[in-house]
Amino acid sequence: MTAPIYPQLSSGALSQFPVQKRRRLRTVCNVSEDGRHVRLSDPTGTATEWRLTYADLTDVEMATIRDFFAAAEGTLNSFTFLDPTGNLLANSDELDHPVWEAGPLLALSKGEADPVGGLSAWRLFNRSDGVQNLLQSLGIPGIYLYCFSVYVRSQTATTVTVVVGSQRATRAVTPAWNRIEFSTRDLGVEPIAFGLECEAGSILDVYGMQLEPQAWASGFKSTGRGGVYEGARLADDLLKVTTSGQNCHSCTVNIIHVDHL
């Protein structure tokens, strides 16, 4: 059974600005009698909270949030929350991490110059006679609107195909860095794969793969865990709605996600 998921607005956005986010970690500290501290990190004590402030919502958007609140029964039921401030892809700068599934004939090397002056780009070598994929699969709903973005370049003119679930878009690649953005919905059934399809014989420099639950790409955010939070909950049993005019509502939603043992 698919877990419920926090709804998008009609614009395709999950939230409006401002968004407040709090990350709480836990460090156990033992203070000895002579004043020395011994510390131990507790990785299972992590909590993340969001405060989403909505204004000028339409009747339909307000109903969507109200219905979700009712379905979740306030704080009772958990759901999947897609961080609107982050990049849904995990390990976005570590393309050799196990979360990425690379085609068997696709070679990767890191440490290439990236478009922001660093050395975080990767070079993908497809020396085979067929296309080779570099994909990451996420358990997120295919009916939402997503924007996948990535910086690519190649010393020789070629093309690359962006894979966003069941949707694909082929784009030209030039020797200069260029950011590809591909927004789409109706991606198929989860888990959904996101990434690149490299043409036979192509050599690509790649940087900044990003997936966001919205219509347009924002600035690239390097990730570790990624922005998909399964088991999130509403932090309140109360949803206070202010109606300031016809078809004009506002409310605030607090969400919490806690890493458990």
Partner 1 sequence: MEEFFTSNSGRFGTFAFTDPWDGTVYPTCSLESDDLDVTMAAEMNGSLELTIVENRQ
83 close to 6: Cβ distance less than 8 angstroms = no
**Which among 115, 130, 108 has a CA at the least distance from the CA of 203?**
108
Piece of the chain touching partner 1 by CB under 8 A; list 12-20, 94-102, 132-140, 231-239: 12-20
222 binds partner 1 (CB under 8 A): yes
168-177: which pairs have CB atoms within 8 A and are 24 or more residues apart? 168/197, 173/202, 173/204, 177/115, 177/151, 177/152, 177/153, 177/205, 177/207
| Under rule CB under 8 A, residue 78 binds partner 1 | no
**CB-based contact 138:190 (threshold 8 Å):** yes
> Would you say 129 or 260 has its CB closer to partner 1?
260
Tokens encoding 117: 């002056």
Interaction of residue 10 with partner 1, rule CB under 8 A: no
Residue 44 as a binder of partner 1 (CB under 8 A): the answer is: no
* Amino acid present at 5: I
Is residue 25 part of the contact set for partner 1 (CB under 8 A)?
yes
Number of residues that bind partner 1 (CB under 8 A): 23
Residue from 75, 178, 218, 250 in contact with partner 1 (CB under 8 A): 218
- Asked if 43 is part of the footprint of partner 1 (rule: CB under 8 A), the reply reads yes
Q: Does the protein bind partner 1 through residue 219 (CB under 8 A)?
A: yes
Angle at 184 between CA 178 and CA 188, to 5 degrees: 125
Least distance to partner 1, CB of residue 221, Å: 8
Please choose, from the candidates 120, 121, 204, 128, the residue with its C-alpha nearest in 3D space to the C-alpha of residue 162.
204
179 is an interface residue for partner 1 by CB under 8 A: no
**Closest distance to partner 1 from the beta carbon of 151 (Å):** 16
The reply on whether position 19 binds partner 1 by CB under 8 A is yes
Least distance (Å) between residue 251 CB and partner 1: 18
Q: Is the peptide bond before 115 cis (omega within 30 degrees of 0)?
A: no
- Burial level of 199, CB count in 10 A (0-12/13-18/19+)? middle
One residue of 1, 38, 40, 261 binding partner 1 per CB under 8 A: 40
Residues that bind partner 1 (CB under 8 A): 17-27, 36, 39-41, 43, 85, 218-219, 222-225
